[in-house]
């Protein structure tokens, strides 16, 4: 396992390793240059037996509620750069690969685990793991902040499109 300083990425990597899912961690220090454009790197290449191989970009978020409900809110913002770079990586890797946004929610209380199908205990803390294909997310996203150049998906739409990460492997 790579020595990752970002707890959300380290958690997802630990989940993959524990679940026996084949993957390659991407070295964040090595940025690639394609067509004269520097692309933001993603976090993992994950090999799937049930669909396309995945270019996974982990988004860590805190979930402070007791459990996500129909009225609950799961933060799901991403930057336009995240989406644009992941789309370019999909082109570079080709037709057998798809971008995946992995939302890794740090659950502030253990009761919140009841609202997630995939919960991973990592370093004594609970994390809920959800995923959505980049193209589906991009189609449904709306501007969130012009200053930070971020987008997000409305909560009800996000709950409908997101799936447990295990569904992608």
Q: Identify the pLDDT of residue 88.
A: 94
pTM, two decimals, is 0.92
Distance from chain centroid for Cα 152: 13
CA separation for the pair 26, 6 (Å, rounded): 13
SS3 92: helix
Query: Who has greater pLDDT, 9 or 1?
Result: 9
pLDDT at 34 (0 to 100): 57
What distance in Å separates the CA atoms of residue 61 and residue 133, rounded to the nearest whole number? 18
The band of 32, judged by pLDDT with boundaries at 50, 70 and 90, is low
Q: Note the pLDDT tens digit of each residue in 13-28.
A: 999 999 999 999 997 6
pLDDT band at residue 64 using 50, 70 and 90 as cut-offs = confident
Q: Average pLDDT of 115-140?
A: 97
In DSSP terms, 106 is beta-bridged to 62, 127
Q: How confident is the model at residue 31 (pLDDT cuts 50, 70, 90)?
A: low
Kindly list the domain boundaries of the chain, sorted by start residue: 7-168
pLDDT for 70 equals 42
Nearest one of 163, 124, 112, 157 to 139, comparing CA atoms: 157
Task: Evaluate if residue 153 carries a pLDDT over 90.
Answer: yes
Q: Are 63 and 105 in contact (CB under 8 A)?
A: yes
Contacts of 94 (CB under 8 A, 6+ apart): none
- The per-residue pLDDT for range 81-120, each reduced to its tens digit, is 999 999 999 999 999 999 999 999 999 888 888 889 999 9
Identify which of 74, 71, 16, 72 has the alpha carbon closest to the alpha carbon of residue 43: 16
- The CATH code belonging to domain 7-168 is 3.40.1350.10
């Amino acid at each position: 396992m790579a020595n990752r300083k970002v707890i959300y990425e380290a958690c997802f990597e630990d989940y993959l390793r524990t679940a026996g899912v084949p993957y390659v961690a991407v070295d964040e220090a090595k940025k690639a240059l394609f067509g004269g454009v520097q692309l933001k790197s993603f976090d993992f290449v994950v090999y799937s037996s049930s669909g396309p191989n995945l270019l996974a970009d982990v988004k860590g978020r805190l979930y402070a509620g007791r459990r996500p409900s129909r009225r609950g809110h799961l933060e799901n913002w991403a930057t336009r750069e995240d989406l644009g770079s992941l789309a370019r990586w999909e082109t570079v890797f080709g037709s057998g690969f798809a971008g995946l946004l992995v939302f890794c929610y740090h659950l502030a209380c253990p009761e919140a685990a009841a609202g997630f199908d995939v919960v991973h205990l990592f370093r004594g803390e609970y994390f809920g793991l959800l995923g959505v294909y980049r193209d589906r997310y991009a189609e449904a996203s709306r501007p969130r902040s012009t200053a930070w150049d971020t987008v997000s998906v409305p909560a009800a739409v996000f709950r409908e499109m997101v799936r447990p990460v295990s569904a992608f492997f």
